[in-house]
Chain A
Amino acid sequence: MRLAIAVLAAAAVLVPAAAAALTAPELAKVVREIDARQRNQGDWKALCYMEQKEKGKTDVVYELLVFRRDADDKQMFLFTKPKSEAGKGYLRIEKNLWLYDPATGRWERRTERERIGGTNTRRGDLDESRLVEEYDARWEADEKLGVYEVHRILLTAKPGVDVAFPVVRIWVDRATLNVLKRQELALSGRLMRTVYQPRWRRIFSESKKADVWYPEEIRIYDEIEKQNSTIILVKEIDLRSLDANLFTKAWLESRSR
C-alpha cells in the first residue's frame, strides 16, 4: 500500500514536469505569433534562387523574382534565369494560381500542389505564413531539435481550405518562434516533404511599422523521390510599393515580349 502511494505521488510530481503541454490559449498565441512575425501588410519583392537536385539529372539553378501584395493576397513569380525559363511565371489572383508559358503563350490554372518550375517548391513556400487561417493546431511535444528547444505542433488543414498538404508538423524555436523544421504529410499519413529553415532574417517594414521575419534559406527534401531536393535562397528584399497593375496577366505576358 505504501509502495503504491509512493508511486502515485512520484507520478503526480513527474507527469506535469514531463508533459508541460501548451494550453489551448498558449498554443493559439504561439501560432498567431508565428503568422504575425512574418506578416508584412504591404508589398514585397524578393530575388530568389532555387537549386533543384534531381536523381539522374544535372542540377539546375533558377533565378526568379517574387512579388507579393499581402493586403489582397496576390502573388507573382517571374523566372529570369536560366534562359530557357526566362519569362515563365505564376500569377495568383483571387485564390487561383495561373501558370504562364511564354513558349506557347498560354495560361494554365494550377493548384496549390503545383511544383513551381518543376522543383520541389510549392507556392506557399514563398508566401507569408497563414497558419491561423488555414490550419487547426495541436501541441504534440516540447523537445530538442539539435541545440534548439522547440515546440512540436501538428497542423491539420481546416475543411474547405485549399493547401498543398493537409497535415503539417512544425518544429518551432521556443525562444524566437521561428519555424525551423516542417514535415508535410498526406491524409494517408505518408510523409511527402521535409523542409528545414535554418536561417531567419528580419527587415523593417514601413507599412507594418515593425520587423518582418523571413527564412533566408529553405531546404526542401522530397520524401517520395528520396534523392530529389530543392534549396531556396531569398535575397534582396524590397518592401516598397509595387505598381498597381503589376499583378495582371498582361504584365506577366509583357515580360517575355
Chain B
Amino acid sequence: MKCGSGIEARQVNELFINIDPIQAGGRLTGDAIKAIIAYGDGYSVCDNCRKPNRLDCISKPPIAEFHKEVAAWLNMDAARMMPGARRGFQAVAHTYVNKGDPVLLTSLSHYTEFLAVEEAGGVACEIPVDGRYIVTPESTAIKIEGVRKKFGKNPVLALIDQVDYQYGNRHDVAAIAKVVHQYDVPILCNGAYTVGILPVDGKALGVDFVVGSGHKSMASPAPSGVLATTAERAAEVFRTTAIEGDVTGRKFGIKEPELMGCTLMGATLVGMMASFSHVKERVKHFDRELENHRVVIEALLSIEGTKVLSEYPRKHTLTRVDTTGSFDRAAETHKKKGFFFSSALNERGIFGIIPGATRVWKFNTYGMTEKQARYLADAFVAVAQENGLPVKP
C-alpha cells in the first residue's frame, strides 16, 4: 500500500511488536496521530499567532500553556520545544562554550553531544565509566581535577546522560551534579531515555538543564524534543535577539537566537502536545514497564550462554545483551548465518533487531502490553529451541 509516489505506507507498529531500542518510547498515541491528521499543513499552528509573535506565546492551540506545563512537569522554570534533544545540546553548548574550552562528557555520551561541543569549538573531555559501565561522582571529580591541570581552568559545561544509549544504565545525575557544581560548572542532564519514560525532576537532580527527546521518549513525531532550565539559566540560553539591520534598522522583537526564532511548528509540536497527557500518566507506571522487561530478560537468560551486559537487575527497559554464547553459536551452522535470528523473529511478528546481529545487540520493551511481553519472551525461547540451543527449565 502506498501513501505517496514510491512511499510505502509504514505498518511496522500495527503488524509487529517493535523492540527497536530507539523507537519504543516514540511510538505515537492515538491522540498524536489524530492531531497530526488535523495539523499536517505547514504553518498550521500559526493561524492565531499574534504579537509578540513567538511560537511559545501562541494561545490557540494552547502552545503557551503547554510550554508552562512541560516546565512545571520537569520541575524547571522555563522550557522550549526543540527539533530533537540534539538541538537542546546545541543551544546550550553554543551559549556556554567558546573555542578551546574544555567540556565534560562521558564515555557513554551520545554522538550528538560531541557534535554540539565540536560546533561550539569546545574540547571533549570524557569521564570514564567504571567496570559496570556506570559514570560515578568519584570519576567525575577525578576528571575535573585532570581537566583543571591540563587546561588551567574548569570545564565550562557538563553534559551527563541520565540513562545512556549504549547500555541503558542509570547514572546518578544528582550526585554528579553536586560534584560538578562545586566547581561552578553548569550541568545539562540528557534525559533522552528518561523524560517521558520515567519521572524526571530537574530541581531534585540539581541540574541547570534538562533535555528530553520527543521522538525517542515522549510518543511524538520526529524531530522533537525539549530543553528546560532554571530561571537563571533561561536568561542566558533563551536570551532575546539584539541584532539590528544597518540599512533597514530592522529589529526582531523577542525572537530567541539559540532557537532561531520559532522552533517546533505544525504537526510535530501538536503531536507532542496531544501525547503529553498520556506521557504524564505513563511515567507514573514505569514499574509495570520494568516488570514486563523482567519477563523478557529472564526468558533470554534461560537460554544458556546468554549474558546481560547492562547493569542488573535492570533499571530501564533498554538493555544490551551478549548472545555470542547462544544465538551466535547457532548462526555458525545456520544456512542464513547471522541473519537467521532477526529473520526468525520477523516471522513471529517481532521487529527491531539489527539484521545479522547475533553477538551483542540491544532491545527495548517500553510500551508493550503484558501479553506482548510474554509473547516476546516465548518467541526468544522458541527460536533458541528450534535451533538446538539448550534452555534452562
Q: Do A and B bind each other?
A: no
Chain A residues within CB distance 8 Å of chain B: none
Chain B residues within CB distance 8 Å of chain A: none
